[in-house]
Amino acid sequence: MMSRSMPEKDEDWRPKLRRIEDPIAEDCWEYITPSGKQRISRLMVGRPVHYPERRLWYCPVLIEGYTRPRIRPIFGMGPVDSLMNAMTFVRRFFEENFEVLPGVKPTGSRRSRAASPGKRSTLRRRNRPTT
């Protein structure tokens, strides 16, 4: 039985994505970067897409100001695996930053939304490093 090798390190084989055709989740998050800058980024995760050329699946992911290229395909062996890997990627972004507040208004609105009465905030409790 032949084992299937993972794609080579050359990233030219990856699809070049210009937009997310079928988003399944999107939001704007306000956060403080590890360098101490306050930012708002739009996040979007697309529905898993079959990539038959490599017998893989991928979920397109956009995190403004973070993903390179702008829309990054996150791969897996099947549709659920690619979605799980995409959410692990989003989770890593969440954990790398501080005071993350999901559900803020887009950048053009200038101010983040106030927490709804009776709802818990999902603010990160981790403190920023002191310098």
Q: What is the pLDDT of residues 11-52, one digit of tens each?
A: 689 999 999 999 999 999 999 999 999 999 999 999 999 999
Would you give the DSSP letter of residue 20? -
Distance, C-alpha 51 to centroid of its chain: 20
Q: Does residue 66 carry a pLDDT above 70?
A: yes
Token pair listed for 130: 């002191």
Distance, C-alpha 46 to centroid of its chain: 10
Indicate the pTM of the whole model: 0.74
Cβ–Cβ < 8 Å for 114, 108: no
Q: State the chain's mean pLDDT as an integer.
A: 83
Q: Is 81 in a helix, a strand, or coil? A: helix
CB atoms within 10 A of CB 2: 4
User: Mean of the pLDDT values across residues 110-131?
Assistant: 46
Where do the domains of the chain lie?
22-105
- The pLDDT value given to residue 108: 63
Rg (CA), the chain: 17
The DSSP bridge partners found for residue 28 are 42
Least confident of 6-15, 60-69, 90-99: 6-15
User: Mean of the pLDDT values across residues 71-94?
Assistant: 98
Q: Does residue 117 carry a pLDDT above 90?
A: no
pLDDT-based confidence at 1, cuts 50/70/90? very low
